[in-house]
Amino acid sequence: MNSSDDVDALLYLSFGGPEGHQEVRPFLENVTRGRNVPPERLDEVAEHYHHFGGVSPLNRLNRDIMSSLEGELAERGLNLPVYFGNRNWHPMVEDTVERMAADGVRRALVFATSAWGGYSGCRQYHEDIARARDAIGQQRAPELVKLRQFYDHPLFVAANADAVTRAYAHLPEDVRTQARLVFTAHSVPLSAEERSGADGRPRWYSRQVHESARLVAEAVGVTGYDVVWQSRSGPASVPWLEPDVCDHLDQLSARSVPAVVTSPVGFVSDHLEVIWDLDNEAAEKAGELGMGFARADTAGTDPRYARMIAELVSEHVENQRVRKLSPLVTAGCTANGQLCVAQGCC
Ligand SMILES: CC1=C(CCC(=O)O)c2cc3nc(cc4[nH]c(cc5[nH]c(cc1n2)c(C)c5CCC(=O)O)c(CCC(=O)O)c4C)C(CCC(=O)O)=C3C
Ligand SMILES: [Fe+2]
């Protein structure tokens, strides 16, 4: 693709979330269909959504980001309409792609709201793209080109780094210099970790999370930090990435660490996992242990996030140079839901 004339639109593809009490159950059923999530876990997660009026913050955040993004694109002279579609809740990606076809879109870029490779962050979004195209038939379906992973994009790293710096400032001065920096990301089953990286490069997701953490810590000037996991589901008998953030707080407390700064680098917005599992559960746990606790903002709340998306678009339509900070390979960019197995991901 060499000029913006080749691209008619941008599809902003996300996870989706309920917008009222009565939508919580059907949403959760969509998320967990065919998955090994115990019913008790679902009841628990449903309560978290109900605690916030049955409304996920994700939709509002996504709409805010899309409106900033339209401004960023216009500033670059890229007048692409931005369409919104989700995997698990309305507007569903199938309906959105139908509307795009009806509007005459023939080729669109797709921004998926995950920074990562691996099953949940990459492959499932490819599957969404393929399913949405199949639903309206290959004849009518626009060509959909997914943008690459951005875990090491300088704007993503900078947004996270400044958020960490602000979080340190929220801790009482007497514990600030002793505070431990703890990065968190969504846990996944180890089986998914081994599956990603079919060409002998497994653990694609966790390695990218570690790279983001390293880059953010470096930008902040912190040498000692940890990477831990949160929000695991699935039966206890199935191994997931560990340690869990709350168990880790116990460990730190046992080492007399007086405070923590948590950075949810694995989440691009203030998802329910962030505002519940960190701001409620982990914060409460830290309180019980008598530790100071501050949580860094997610990148999606920073204007540089929308700017980054516009840059990713520019890479395609204007052959702008690829800005990335990690030597690890970046995958995720294929057409029409093709898996990026060849690049070592998915
Ligand atoms: C790696 C990863 C990301 C980051 C990459 C990305 O952003 O894509 C992510 C994001 C998100 N996960 C989210 C919500 C949920 N995830 C669930 C379940 C699961 N997530 C998993 C992994 C991930 N998830 C996995 C392995 C499961 C087990 C079931 C399965 O194998 O699929 C469940 C079911 C209940 C439960 O099991 O907890 C819910 C409700 C929301 C929306 C939050 C909101 O509303 O603000 C977002 C952005
Ligand atoms: Fe992939």
**pLDDT in single tens digits along all 346 residues of the chain:** 444 458 999 999 999 999 999 999 999 999 999 888 888 999 999 999 999 999 999 999 999 999 999 999 999 999 999 999 999 999 999 999 999 999 999 999 999 999 999 999 999 999 999 999 999 999 999 999 999 999 999 999 999 999 999 999 999 999 999 999 999 999 999 988 887 655 556 788 999 999 999 999 999 999 999 999 999 988 889 999 999 999 999 999 999 999 999 999 999 999 999 999 999 999 999 999 999 999 999 999 999 999 999 999 999 998 888 999 999 888 999 999 999 887 878 8
Shared domain for 28 and 139, answered yes or no, is yes
Residue closest to 325 by CA, chosen among 223, 225, 212, 222 = 212
- The complex's ipTM works out to 0.93
Q: What is the pTM of this model?
A: 0.95
User: How far is ligand 1, taken at its centre, from the CA of residue 314, in Å?
Assistant: 29
| Residue ID of nearest Cα to ligand 1 atom 25 | 188
Shared domain for 44 and 101, answered yes or no, is: yes
Q: Is 294 domain-assigned?
A: yes
Q: Which ligand is nearest to the CA of 127?
A: 2
> Can you give the residue range of the structural domain that contains 105?
4-150+303-317
Biggest CA–CA distance in the chain, Å, is 65
Residues 309, 290 share a domain: no
The reply to whether 338 falls in a domain is no
Residue 203 and residue 309 in one domain: no
Specify if 329 maps to a domain.
no
In angstroms, what is the span from residue 149 Cα to ligand 2's centroid? Answer: 8
- Please identify, by atom number, the ligand 1 atom nearest to the C-alpha of residue 18: 45
Tell me: do 39 and 114 sit in the same domain. yes
User: Residues 160, 183: one domain?
Assistant: yes
Upstream peptide bond of 91 is cis (omega within 30 degrees of 0) = yes
Split into its structural domains, the chain has a count of 2
Residue 210: CB within 6 Å of ligand 1?
Answer: no
Shared domain check, 139 and 189:
no
**Residue to probe by mutation, ligand 1, list 33, 129, 186, 279, most atoms within 8 Å of CB:** 186
CATH number at 82 reads: 3.40.50.1400
> Are 43 and 104 contained in the same domain?
yes
Residue type, 40: E
193 and 288 inside one domain:
yes
Q: Is 153 annotated as a binding residue?
A: no
Q: What angle do CA 138, 144, 150 make, to 5 degrees?
A: 155
229/243 same-domain check: yes
Instruction: Please tell me whether residues 117 and 182 are part of one structural domain.
Output: no
Which ligand is closest to the CA of 196, given by its number? 2
Domain check: are 251 and 159 in the same one?
Answer: yes
- Considering the domain boundaries, does residue 326 fall inside one? no
| Cβ of 41 less than 6 Å from ligand 1 | yes
